[in-house]
Amino acid sequence: MRSILKWGVIVGGGVIAALIVALVVIPRFLDVQKYKPVIEERVAAATGRPFALGGDLKLSLFPWAGLSLSDLRLGNPPGFAEKDLLVVEGFDVRVKLLPLLSQDVQVERFVLKGPRLVLERLENGRGNWEGIGAANKSATPATPKESQTAASGAGQLPIKSLMVGEFAVTGGSVLWIDHTKPERREITDFNLRLSDVSLDKPIGVVLSALLDAKPLSLEGRVGPLGPMPGKGTVPIDLAVTALKAVDLTVKGRVVDPVDALRFDLAVALAPFSPRKLFETLAQPFAVRTADPSALQKVGLKVELQGDTRAVSGRNGRLELDDAVLVFDFDAAEFDKPKVGFNLEIDQIDLDRYLPPAEDKKQAAAGAPGGEKGAVKPAPDFSPLRRLVLDASAKIAELKAAKARVQDLSLQVTGRNGVFRLNPLTLKLYQGDLAVNGTLSLQTDTPRTDLALRMKDVQVGPLLKDLKGTEVLTGTTRAEMALRMAGMDVAAIKPTLNGKGSLVFSDGAVKGLDLAGMVHNAKAAFGLAAAATTRPQTDFSELKVPFTLDNGVFKTPATTLQSPVLRVLAAGQADLVRETLDFRIEPKFAATLKGSGDATDRTGVTVPVLVSGTFAKPSFQPDLKGLAQQHFGEDLKDIQQKLKKGELKKDDLKSLEKKAKGILEGLPFGN
């Protein structure tokens, strides 16, 4: 037995010695250079691109299995300005051979030197990266059994331990050339080093590069990866610094990234200036805003949790210039998707972030050189029809369209392309506004239903902020129910339908002296010297009941009441044609003492006709109505007698006397 063991050891030792000698001697006598043409031919056939190994190819087997090469080039197809898609100055890898027998991987070095990748797009949109491997598409597909075997082994490494002495990528570069814009961007001096590379320790990561000559860096630790990389928990602690302007940290963990990805990460983006970032890149700012100083500060903190089926964000905080946005969100079933979020904002001026006025004018006029009468393609609402939404928002102070709002609160839900606002409430110029509504996107034409209630809103300051002038003052109450359809104002106007009521209390109509019009036609209609003060009509109540019929605003009985004046107005305003057709009829006139007006106004009341357009309204005395008002039955009687031939001189004298009395009441009649 002892003899057998002795000879076994001798034979085993001899085999090992012979194997070691072979591993040392074979590379010395094996000319690997002659295999370069075969390697070049095989790679070129597999990629469909020219391939060359310009430098020496070296192979070693003991004590390290090593491979080194230099001047590797993978070319571009014809038609591209750059000759090569990929160039590698040098590559060197060394792995200890004997430990591999026990599934122990010990890498002395893995160094990639001077890789240069050039991505180029031609004017026709074709990229040099397209079609790689197309020549190899006819390869025999794997059998179901092979595919199943490969899948079952996914994410599993047949190793027990891993140790890498040196892992580095040095002097790398990436060049992007886009002839369609044209655009040229470049990353240079790309260096990546990994330290403490193993399965049971955190791996140090240090990355640096220049993006268009501007510095970019990343530093941190990832891992440990564990004995089964791709399975288990992988801690992450990374810090990214870009262009001396952006600082981003990511801390947390990733669980089972291969089989069942889950993550729990804290992301923090230190406040930075997007405008300065674009200046550093020597690029025009991506967003044009009405306020050139907007987007000077952006910062973000959020805790992200999720997996391949859902993601959520908690304790989110976004700093946007002077505004602070606090938020939470959930997203799931990404094919639908299903989204929920809660948002709270302390204060924000949305007008700052709108496009400049000149951009709005250009958009309204159409793109330069565009075809007149061209039909815009219908928007695709199918993603919104799949969306399931449950959202809420609160804004303490908001400025939009120059109007100021406080304590805005809204709830929005959406299912199957129907979005419900239930409700929207806010405080508006010392009053309250509440809106409920529905937006349907189930067809290509959006349809909207709104119910609005307003209480105690000061309309004067509101109009001054919105339009720059106070044409009306007073405390406002309103109730409206509106229906409309369309994508823009022009399309919506002819579809406006509904009804409502507006009530203004203790206010004035600025720029219109209605009392003067009905008392003094000469002064009211431009036949007398202009007043030295801006005219206005004071009222205790102005009530406007209305209906909307396909874009035509109609009011059957708008009433204005003041201490001495009662006015009835009826007519319509065509919102599509922007035309006016109203008749304003005074019901009572005497002295206007009271309401802050001690002026003594006398004369005959004159109904007023309002016509023209929204831009140029016209006011005219209704003389026909005036005559009917004062002649009454006498005029009808004279007309009947005139038809029958029974008209007498006394009748004409009576008519003449009454007419003179009316004319004498009008200042221009004197």
**pLDDT digit string, tens, across residues 503-513:** 999 988 887 77
pLDDT tens string 175-212: 999 998 888 888 999 999 988 888 788 888 888 998 88
Reading phi first (left if > 0) and then psi (alpha if -120 to 50, else beta), residue 78 is in beta
Distance CA 4, CA 15 (A): 16
Token pair for residue 75? 């070319």
- Res 5: pLDDT: 44
Question: For 376-485, where are the E strands, in sequence order?
Answer: 388-400, 403-415, 418-428, 431-440, 447-458, 472-485
What percentage of the chain has pLDDT greater than the value 70?
73
- Res 368: pLDDT: 45
What percentage of the chain has pLDDT greater than the value 90?
36
- Res 630: pLDDT: 56
User: Which pLDDT band, with edges at 50, 70 and 90, does 597 fall under?
Assistant: very low
Return the minimum-mean-pLDDT range out of 190-194, 403-407, 525-529, 543-547. Answer: 525-529
Would you say residue 168 has pLDDT above 50?
yes
CA angle 603, 629, 504 (to 5 degrees): 70
pLDDT tens string 234-289: 888 888 888 778 888 999 999 888 788 899 999 999 999 999 888 877 778 888 89
Across 4-13, 158-167, 467-476, the highest mean pLDDT is recorded for: 467-476
What burial class does residue 592 get, using C-beta atoms within 10 Å of its C-beta: 0-12 exposed, 13-18 middle, 19+ buried? Answer: buried
Would you say residue 652 has pLDDT above 60?
no
Would you say residue 12 has pLDDT above 50?
no
User: Which pLDDT band, with edges at 50, 70 and 90, does 601 fall under?
Assistant: very low
Would you say residue 153 has pLDDT above 70?
no
- Res 598: pLDDT: 43
Return the minimum-mean-pLDDT range out of 287-291, 376-380, 583-587, 620-624. Answer: 620-624
Would you say residue 501 has pLDDT above 90?
yes
- Res 519: pLDDT: 54
For residues 199 and 545, which has the higher predicted lDDT (pLDDT)? 545
Q: What is the DSSP letter of 134?
A: G
Instruction: Determine the residue type at 155.
Output: G
Would you say residue 516 has pLDDT above 50?
yes
- pLDDT (average), residues 225-234: 77
User: Which pLDDT band, with edges at 50, 70 and 90, does 26 fall under?
Assistant: very low
- Res 101: pLDDT: 65
- pLDDT (average), residues 588-610: 55
- Res 24: pLDDT: 45
Would you say residue 653 has pLDDT above 70?
no
Distances (CA, A) of 229 to 102, 149, 158, 226, 448: 18, 19, 10, 6, 54
Other Cβ atoms closer than 10 A to 288: 12
- Res 19: pLDDT: 41
Cβ atoms of 408 and 426 closer than 8 Å? yes
Would you say residue 64 has pLDDT above 50?
yes
